[in-house]
Amino acid sequence: MPWGGTLDNFKPAIQYFQRLQKNEPIVPKQTAYARVLSGEIPILIDYDFNAYRAEYKDHADVAFVIPTEGTIAMPYVMALVKNAPHPANGKKVLDFVLSKQGQALWANAFLRPVIPSAMSPQTSAKFLPASDYARVKPVNYEQMGNVQQGFVKLYLANVR
């Protein structure tokens, strides 16, 4: 990102949030989806699937954008529960979700599939082009987890 910052240097992020505070942002403790649909919240930093759902299912006057500077990817996580009573059924669910058919269902719910070919051309046309998604970068989640408490302390001390 051109503003700098890393998981070892939060200063640019803290400075960004301090500048953002001047706009008196609404920071909801729960989902803000209904408040966006009503127009109460004009700009929301959120997941793409919520914007696509608002636009195509709820016919809201919204548009999803990926900032020029880029953003991060936040994957959905699924796992088997250790010692669950029916692990074979759990594996079947995971196998289905990760199949082309299962991924097509997710794509139709505006969740980008891990199997890109599972997305139909009609559904793909509702998403931003791949060139926009090229600005989405992965994060080292283990490192992020290790430094999260430090960021929270800095944020609470300097922004909130």
105 burial level (CB within 10 Å; 0-12, 13-18, 19+): middle
Q: Per the structure, how many domains does the chain have?
A: 2
Whether residues 1 and 68 share a domain: the answer is yes
Q: What percent of the chain has pLDDT over 70?
A: 99
Q: What is the mean pLDDT of residues 146-155?
A: 94
Let me know: does 120 contact 107? Beta carbons within 8 Å.
Answer: yes
Q: What is the mean pLDDT of residues 88-100?
A: 96
Compute φ and ψ for 136, nearest 5 degrees: -90, 125
Q: Say which residue, 29 or 138, is predicted with more confidence.
A: 138
Instruction: Report yes or no on 133 lying in a domain.
Output: no
The C-alpha atoms of residue 133 and residue 72 are separated, in whole angstroms, by: 10
Q: Among 11-20, 27-36, 88-97, name the one with the lowest average pLDDT.
A: 27-36
Whether residues 109 and 66 share a domain: the answer is no
Domain hosting residue 89, numbered range: 75-128
Per-residue pLDDT band for 1 (boundaries 50, 70, 90) equals very low
Instruction: Report yes or no on 58 lying in a domain.
Output: yes
Q: Can you give the pLDDT at residue 31? A: 76
**49-86 b/e (C-beta count within 10 Å ≥ 16 → b):** bbbbbbbeeeebebebeeeeeeeeeeeeeeeeeeeeee
Q: Can you give the pLDDT at residue 27? A: 78
The C-alpha atoms of residue 151 and residue 38 are separated, in whole angstroms, by: 32
Q: Say which residue, 97 or 31, is predicted with more confidence.
A: 97
The C-alpha atoms of residue 114 and residue 99 are separated, in whole angstroms, by: 10
**pTM of this structure:** 0.81
Whether residues 69 and 147 share a domain: the answer is yes
Q: Can you give the pLDDT at residue 2? A: 60
Whether residues 2 and 69 share a domain: the answer is yes
Query: To 10 degrees, the CA torsion angle through 111, 4, 2, 25?
Result: 60
Q: Can you give the pLDDT at residue 42? A: 87
Q: Label each residue of 103-149 as H, E or C.
A: HHHHHHCCCCCCCHHHCCHHHHCCCCCHHHHCCEECCCHHHHHHHHH
Read off the pLDDT of residues 19-60 as tens digits, 9 standing for 90 and up. Answer: 989 988 877 777 788 989 988 888 888 899 999 999 999 999
Q: Can you give the pLDDT at residue 108? A: 95
Whether residues 84 and 54 share a domain: the answer is no
Mean pLDDT across the chain: 91
CA-angle at 29, arms to 60 and 50, nearest 5°: 30
